[in-house]
Structure 1
Amino acid sequence: MDELFESVTVGKLELPNRLVMAPMTRSRATEDGRVTELTAEYYAQRAGAGLIVSEAVQPCVRGQGYVWTPGLHSAEQTQAWRAVTDAVHREGGRIFAQLMHSGRIGHPVLYPDGGLPVAPSPVASGMQLFTPDGMLDHPVPREMTPDDIAETVADFASAARNAVDAGFDGVEVHGANGYLIHQFLADGTNRRTDSYGGSIENRIRFAVEVVAAVVDAIGPERVGLRVSPGNTVNNISESDAADLYPELLRAVAQYNPAYVHIMEAGDRALTKRLREVWTGTLILNPHPTPEAFPATVDNGVEALRDGVADAVAFGELWLANPDLPARIKAGGPYNKADRDTFYGGDHRGYTDYPVLGA
């Protein structure tokens, strides 16, 4: 297990260990997208991570995909996040904000103007939005115009600047898990015939433009990119992941971001290929086989020993074990995550997981 506790460089940060807290939506923000003191407590409890990547944060109003999720597109939201980053830094931690535009995984009830969600093409998700009043079918999204695309790229850059103003050490651009950037990458959701659709070169264009804009806004050392090759979450489908993702990483490399974060989907051979392409810092959410969910400590150690990752990200383990490094060193035991309290609610299943010796 010693590999997990070696230092590693991410951008200009020297992380004290290789244990990254993966981004996890918890749906505990206010109706207007502000985090609370409870959020600050939650992240401060987990400041022993080498790096925390926050829950997904919408960069603009139309980027919201779920109820009670936070934003970074208003002064009030930015100020609210300051309490979180201050709390993490007081405990000696480091935290990046994950910027996520949901694209077609959205609904008119989430937006003040009641408009449609946007996406690269008018292809519905076939899924539903949870609301306190019941489940709602996702509508067919509106196809983004070139002006929409340019505006959204600018929204990501603006949110990144807000993140730095809020005290974050950097941002992670969410290009995974079936959300907007992934929708542009995937040929199952991108049916465009312009310069943003069709060929691999065209389908990676939006992702590359977002990374370039965010790097220009806050500097490459503060920027990461998350991808999930072959992941079918949110009904995403891509027929050419093995060819697309090496090209994406090559294109992104020219902007020298601090890291790439791969959400592995059971294809270790593809992960190894991407590791060869990407020579910078690589964070892996390790799922070497289709059955390896959720990721385990052993999965992480194996990835480091095999050289396919520089750091490893865990989700459920951090959610349920705020003192995860101490538990790993002690050989456990590990708290079991309560799935009934993953989304929404109060402190229960959020800040009340016990630490060793409690």
Structure 2
Amino acid sequence: MSHVSIRQLLKNFDGKPPTVAVDHLDLEIEDGEFLVLLGPSGCGKTTTLRCLAGLEQPASGSITLGDQVVYDGARGVNLPPDKRFIGMVFQSYALWPHMTVRKNIAYPLKSRKLTDALASGRVEETAALVDCERLLDRLPAELSGGQQQRVALARGLVSHPDLVLFDEPLSNLDARLRDQVRAELHDLHQRKPFTAVFVTHDQSEALALGTRMAIMRAGRIVQIGPPREVFEEPVDEYVAGFTGMSNRLPCEYVDGRWYALGTEIHGTQPGTVAAGEFVLRLRPEKIRLVTDVADLLPGEAGVAVTVDDVEYGGLHFDVMCSVVGDGAVRRQLHARIPTFDSARTPRTVNRGATMIFAFDPRDARTFDTDGNALAVPQQALTGALVG
């Protein structure tokens, strides 16, 4: 394991116009930490990983792995990938098709001339860690996708590298296998900690695996912290939207009443913050749908919506609703309702029905009109009921 330090890392790609993929990035990764880089395509997460691996040459900045400077633009230092003591697990597995599992796993030991590790049974030991010791004499073509990914993980870990890099390694697996391998990877890191950087666009992977998670945008880190902190206290609307707060309700105060998306808010009023205008963000799982304003619970707020679509998801319904905002533009909202919870919604929700989109304002996060998080006074979340 090693501490990793990234200072003012800059990476450009030529084009018309040129692209700044990593924008003067500063990042410290502690020994044994599992850091997840999360963000949409084009945010710079994979380019950052490739710079760490030595597969991309930055324009400037520095990268230190343990006590070794592996890149320093000012001093002209740029060690090639084979001189950086790292392991890498790719999205495409990248196993040698003509080699057995045993030889695939042993390859980093042989290439680094770690003969003592080979002789001491390191290959078998690492295969057992990822539950593929019974596969050692098979070829990759004889393995399932989940088995191949376990072999790729074993190959990345076998040499006990200073740093293990994961480039969206679960995205090619089906949903069941993805959950299984994710759980196994989390358990492995708990049992045998190693320093890792894991790139993904899937928030469920980031939340489950990360010691810390970093949300990236335009080559920069917008927020970094423990997964629960980032999930529950997003610093801006970008982070809120990317971590599941998909419902966006701009609120304003007009003639003594509060409106969301141009529609009057019934029940509990959100109160006065930020000079009368702000934005609420809500998770679909925090929404109730009721048939009438009279059905709102104490402390709930609600706006009238039209049901656009209902999708059955087994344990839940995904209900897409809309309100008519300013200029008669329809704004869509999303409610995820458990199928077994009759208190959350009527048993049947029909397309075209008019319902009340109900929520507890304490479940919302509040942002100013520039998208920055606001600290909302408690009285603003528990205002008097208005019919």
Superposition TM-score tier, normalisation by shorter sequence = 0.3 to 0.5
State TM-score, norm by structure 2: 0.32
**Which one has the bigger strand percentage?**
2
Determine which structure has more spread, i.e. the larger CA radius of gyration: 2
**Given the two structures, how large is their TM-score scaled by the length of structure 1?**
0.34
